Amino acid sequence: MKEAPLYITGVCMNNFKALFLFLSLLNVLNAKSIAKIPEASGIYFLKESHELIVVNDEGWIYRLKTNGKIIQKKYLGDYDFEGVTHYEENLLIAVEDKNSIFIVDKKSFEIIKKVKIKKHKNIKKSKKHGIEAITVLNGEIYLSHQKSGLFKIDGLKNKKAKIIKIYKHGYKDIAGLFAKGNILYMISDKKNLLIKYDIKNAKTLKKIKLTKSAQEGICFDNKGNIYIADDNGRILKYKTKDLGVK
Residue type (1 letter), 53 = I
Helices (H), ranges, 57-191:
none
Please tell me the total number of residues recorded for the chain in this structure: 246
Listed residue (118, 108, 102, 215) closest to 164, CA to CA: 118
Chain centroid to CA 89: 21
Q: What is the pLDDT of residue 128?
A: 66
Global pTM reads 0.86
**What is the spatial distance between Cα 221 and Cα 46, in angstroms, rounded to a whole number?**
8
Listed residue (189, 218, 220, 184) closest to 202, CA to CA: 184
Structural domains of the chain ordered from first start:
36-243 (2.130.10.10)
What is the residue-level pLDDT of the chain in tens, covering all 246 positions?
A: 434 444 444 444 455 554 444 334 434 456 789 999 999 999 999 999 999 999 999 999 999 999 999 999 999 999 999 999 999 999 999 999 999 999 999 999 999 999 999 999 888 766 667 899 999 999 999 999 988 889 999 999 999 999 999 998 888 889 999 998 889 999 987 788 999 999 989 899 999 988 777 889 999 999 999 999 998 899 999 998 888 887
**What is the spatial distance between Cα 42 and Cα 132, in angstroms, rounded to a whole number?**
9
Q: What is the pLDDT of residue 160?
A: 97
